[in-house]
Structure 1
Amino acid sequence: MKIMLTINGLDVAAHFSEQDVATVHKPLLQRLAALHAAAPHQRTIVFLSAPPGTGKSTLTTFWSWLAAQDPHLPALQTLPMDGFHHYNDWLDAQGLRPYKGAPETFDVPKLAQNLRQIRAGQGTWPQYDRQKHDPQEDALQVTAPLVVVEGNWLLLNDPAWRELREYCDFSIFITAPAAALRQRLVARKQAGGLSEQEAEAFYQRTDGPNVERVLTSSVAADLTLMMTENGDYRF
Structure 2
Amino acid sequence: MNVTLKINGLETQARFNDQEVETLHKPLLKQLAEKQRQLQRRLVVFLAAPPGTGKSTLAAFWEYLSTQDTELPVIQALPMDGFHHYNDYLLANNLKQHKGAPQTFNVAKLTDALRALHQPESEWPQYDRNLHDPVENAITVKAPIVVVEGNWLLLNQPEWQSLRALCDYSVFISAQPERLSERLIGRKMRGGLTRQQAVDFFQMTDGLNVLRVLENSQPANMQLCMDEQGGYHQIL
What secondary structure is seen at the aligned counterpart in 1 of 2:117? helix
Letter in 2 for 1:32: L
TM-score, normalised to structure 2, is 0.98
1:18 corresponds to? 18
**Separation (CA, whole Å) in 1 of partners of 2:8 and 2:144:** 21
Q: CA deviation at 1:119?
A: 1.6
Deviation at 1:37, TM superposition (A): 1.1
Corresponding residue of 1:31: 31
1:174 corresponds to which letter in structure 2?
I
Alignment of 1:217 with 2:216, yes or no, is: yes
**Matched residue, 1:7:** 7
- Shift of residue 229, structure 1, vs aligned partner: 1.3
Question: Tell me, what secondary structure is at the counterpart of 1:62?
Answer: helix
For structure 1, which segment, 214-223 or 113-122, has the greater mean C-alpha deviation from structure 2 after superposition? 113-122
User: 2:102 maps to which residue?
Assistant: 103
Residue 74 of structure 1: how far off its partner (Å): 0.8
- Separation in 1, partners of 2:176, 2:229: 11
Aligned twin of 2:85: 86
Contact 1:43 1:147 in 2 (8 A): yes
Task: Determine whether 1:203 maps to 2:202.
Answer: yes
Write the distance in 1 (CA, Å) between the matches of 2:204 and 2:162: 28
Corresponding residue for residue 152 of structure 1: 151
Residue 182 of structure 2 is matched in structure 1 by 183
Gaps of 5+ in 1: none
C-alpha separation in 1, matches of 2:118 and 2:163: 12
CA contact (8 A) 1:67 1:73 kept: yes
- Identity of counterpart residues, as a percentage? 54
Q: 1:112-131 alignment to 2 at 5 Å?
A: 112-131=111-130
Deviation at 1:121, TM superposition (A): 2.7
Alpha-carbon separation, structure 2, partners of 1:62 and 1:120 = 25
Residue 120 (structure 1) shift: 2.8
CA drift at 1:31: 1.0
Shift of 1:20: 0.7
Residue deviations 1:181-209, cap 9 Å, x none?
00000000000000001000100011000
CA RMSD in angstroms comes to: 0.6
TM-score by length of 1: 0.98
- After TM superposition, the structure 1 stretch with the greater mean CA deviation from structure 2, 91-100 or 113-122, is 113-122
